Chains A and B, each alone.
Chain A
């Protein structure tokens, strides 16, 4: 069983600040997905990173996959109240059973106006 750590668990910041969320493991992943879940909704996929060292940008969100494909980060620039939600990483281990998503512990982000 892989050890997966997502941090921080809680993040409360002011509008305009920057933040980074981390997803780390000792295992190598074939890919990793990041989801955001807003209150009262189901999670929504933000991005999938596949290649070691890959960087993907989604407006003010920057996602990075570690060179060794064991870790990933999500950086938000100039956070806005609309970014508030639960951020979840979901790594896909090598040789995984298809469809079996295992989420990290999640980061609850609150952005105050």
Chain B
């Protein structure tokens, strides 16, 4: 099983809303990632979790708050977002945080901020 699942598939929220994106993998991977992707652009790294601890934050605004409750789950909490935050949010995982290995991506959550 090489599947990374993400929920919801689509999300529409207002600028005052609080919502969360969820990512799950059952491959035993110990590195998990959040990326943001705008239309016709490459994914941009936001956060990296290694062994359930935040190891990389690419200067992401605090209105995005990641959380890794356990080795299988990764959340991204959203609060007071701006319309320019509308994008596809991709989650990925890889086996060993100490090595540059294949990242397995989920299908993404398409977010629209009104």
Q: Is A40 an interface residue (CB 8 A)?
A: yes
- A40-B107, A99-B56 are contacts. A104–B42 as well, Cβ < 8 Å? yes
Q: Is A102 an interface residue (CB 8 A)?
A: yes
* Nearest Cβ on chain A to B84's Cβ, whole angstroms: 19
B42–A100 touching, CB < 8 Å: no
B40–A108 touching, CB < 8 Å: yes
One of A44, A98, A106 near B41 (C-beta < 8 A):
A106
- The number of chain A residues with a CB under 8 A from chain B is 25
A98–B97 touching, CB < 8 Å: yes
One of B56, B99, B105 near A44 (C-beta < 8 A):
B105
A101–B45 touching, CB < 8 Å: yes
Contacting residues, chain A, for B40 (C-beta < 8 A): 86, 106, 108
- The number of chain B residues with a CB under 8 A from chain A is 27
Q: Is B20 an interface residue (CB 8 A)?
A: no
Main DSSP-derived SS at the A contact region: loop
Contacting residues, chain B, for A106 (C-beta < 8 A): 40-42
Q: Is B21 an interface residue (CB 8 A)?
A: no
Please name the residue on chain A nearest to B90 by beta carbon.
Answer: A42
* Nearest Cβ on chain B to A110's Cβ, whole angstroms: 12
8 A-B pairs whose Cβ atoms sit less than 8 Å apart in the complex:
A40-B107, A42-B4, A42-B105, A43-B90, A96-B100, A98-B99, A99-B103, A100-B56
Contacting residues, chain A, for B55 (C-beta < 8 A): 99
